[in-house]
């Protein structure tokens, strides 16, 4: 007999069926005993007849054969009767977390320590199914726009963003670093494919122990050539981000306004504070672009506004009061790069192979990058990135 999934039970009402999964919960009433079987799709209630194993530990792996019966009061509208239960694998110990409650009750550190089993909680694992859907939506939108997916190295010879948060690797006896972003590579690749994206890990030696920082996260990056200015980059995000919001089961806002940094900052402040980000969303909508940040506050590759070079063509996208995406038009002229490196006191040598991309003819281009977990945390209303990262890494956590 072919195995079916718990969610297919109703469609098989009246038939004998085979289910496989984990013992999610067991309930004994005076005259009858139930078990709830969990598989990758959901859960199903199984009514135990006599002569079946009576004492099974939670998370026992089972195979259940029986009759699918439409039962309006059962979860999902059907349950299994006349069940024969076979144990496929027995747990060696009871799990340190409870998986059958509507939401996990244990503290976050307890759940992270026991990730191997706490991730099985239906409400928790659903977050990661939504993560996969959000990533699929991201790819689907960019594929439709002619972007090519690339894979660039994470072991790099030069710290590219800020030297303070770079991890050092013993690379055959010399120093290498873990890429803090694919920035330099994706810019190089617009010279090849014009439009590229990458989904991959980035690494930040973040000394902060907060809910908003992790030492490793999945970054969604894209870059496109032949733009007029950063507004063309914003137009790509206007397609990508609402599609991701829909993919995780939320309703994207009808309008996504663009406001100017100068118009929304607090007084003369050169950057936005977290309180500013919350205020801007409260005033302008749950998804708001802020453009025109001060050039001096942005990465060296950010293109200034040609009319007023102290203001940049850099922007952020705020979502429900938190910055989730950073992007900009980039510099594209070799001489501009040499000049900004000199102005910022950065040596040219470590950037030599990066500068090559601009030495040999690069069109106007721009792009963006954002953390998958940051997006998910905002979309699902979960405050801590550790709630939406399978095996989070921070200053104190390297296991599991």
Token readout for 347 is 């040596």
Residue 119 or 234: the one with the smaller Cβ distance to a copy of itself is 119
Lay out the site mask for a copy of itself across 88-117 (x = CB under 8 A, - = otherwise).
xxxxxx-x-----------------xxxxx
Among 3, 213, 278, 320, binds a copy of itself (CB under 8 A): 3
Q: At closest approach, how far in Å is the CB of 318 from a copy of itself? A: 24
Among 200, 211, 253, 285, binds a copy of itself (CB under 8 A): 200
Of residues 316-335, those binding a copy of itself (CB under 8 A): 332-335
Among 40, 208, 297, 339, binds a copy of itself (CB under 8 A): 40
Token readout for 299 is 């990465």
Q: Is 17 in the site for a copy of itself (CB under 8 A)?
A: no
Q: Which helix (H) or strand (E) holds 198?
A: strand 195-203
Contact residues for 161 (Cβ-Cβ < 8 A; gap 6+): 180, 181, 183, 299
Residue 39 or 277: the one with the smaller Cβ distance to a copy of itself is 39
Of residues 276-315, those binding a copy of itself (CB under 8 A): none
Q: At closest approach, how far in Å is the CB of 303 from a copy of itself? A: 13
Of residues 217-276, those binding a copy of itself (CB under 8 A): 218, 226
Count of residues in the chain: 400
Of residues 45-74, those binding a copy of itself (CB under 8 A): 57, 59-61
Contact residues for 171 (Cβ-Cβ < 8 A; gap 6+): 155
Residue 245 or 362: the one with the smaller Cβ distance to a copy of itself is 362
Contact residues for 238 (Cβ-Cβ < 8 A; gap 6+): 256
Between 372-380 and 122-144, two packed helices, what is the crossing angle to 10 degrees? 120
Q: Is 215 in the site for a copy of itself (CB under 8 A)?
A: yes
Q: At closest approach, how far in Å is the CB of 239 from a copy of itself? A: 17
Lay out the site mask for a copy of itself across 357-376 (x = CB under 8 A, - = otherwise).
xxxxxxxx-------x----
DSSP 17-60: EEEEEEEEEEEE-SS-EEEEEE-SS-EEEEEE-TTS-----TT-
3-state DSSP of 214-249: CCEEEEEEEEEECCCCHHHHHHHHHHHHHHHHHHCC
């Amino acid at each position: 007999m072919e195995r079916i999934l718990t969610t297919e039970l109703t469609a098989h009402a009246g038939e004998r069926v085979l289910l496989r999964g984990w013992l999610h919960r067991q309930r004994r009433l005076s005259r009858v005993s139930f078990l709830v079987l969990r598989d990758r799709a959901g859960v199903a209630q199984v009514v135990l007849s006599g002569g079946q194993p009576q004492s099974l530990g939670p998370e026992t792996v089972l195979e259940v054969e029986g009759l699918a019966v439409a039962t309006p009061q059962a979860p999902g509208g059907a349950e299994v009767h006349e069940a024969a239960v076979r144990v496929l694998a027995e747990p060696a110990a009871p799990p340190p977390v409870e998986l059958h409650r509507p939401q996990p009750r244990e503290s976050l550190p307890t759940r992270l320590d026991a990730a191997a089993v706490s991730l099985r909680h239906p409400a928790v694992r659903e977050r990661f199914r939504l993560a996969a859907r959000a990533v699929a939506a991201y790819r689907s939108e960019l594929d439709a726009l002619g972007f090519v997916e690339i894979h660039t190295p994470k072991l790099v010879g030069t710290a590219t963003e800020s030297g303070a948060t770079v991890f050092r690797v013993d690379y055959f006896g010399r120093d290498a670093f873990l890429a803090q972003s694919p920035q330099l590579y994706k810019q190089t690749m617009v010279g090849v494919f014009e439009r590229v994206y990458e989904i991959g890990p980035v690494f930040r030696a973040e000394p902060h122990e907060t809910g908003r920082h992790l030492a490793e996260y999945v970054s969604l990056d894209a870059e496109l050539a032949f733009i007029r200015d950063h507004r063309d980059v914003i137009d790509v995000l206007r397609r990508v981000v609402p599609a991701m919001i829909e993919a995780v089961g939320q309703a994207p806002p009808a309008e996504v306004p663009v406001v100017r940094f100068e118009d929304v900052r607090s007084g003369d402040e050169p950057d936005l504070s977290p309180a500013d980000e919350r205020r801007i969303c409260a005033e302008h909508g749950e998804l708001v672009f802020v453009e025109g940040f001060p050039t001096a506050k942005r990465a060296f590759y950010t293109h200034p506004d040609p009319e007023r070079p102290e203001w940049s063509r850099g922007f952020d996208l705020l979502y429900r009061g938190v910055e989730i995406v950073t992007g900009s038009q980039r510099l594209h002229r070799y001489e501009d790069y040499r000049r900004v490196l000199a102005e910022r006191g950065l040596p040219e040598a470590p950037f030599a192979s990066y500068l090559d991309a601009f030495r040999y003819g690069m069109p106007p281009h721009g792009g963006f990058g954002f953390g998958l977990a940051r997006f998910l945390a905002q979309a699902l209303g979960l405050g801590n990135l550790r709630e939406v990262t399978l095996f989070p890494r921070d200053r104190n956590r390297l296991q599991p």
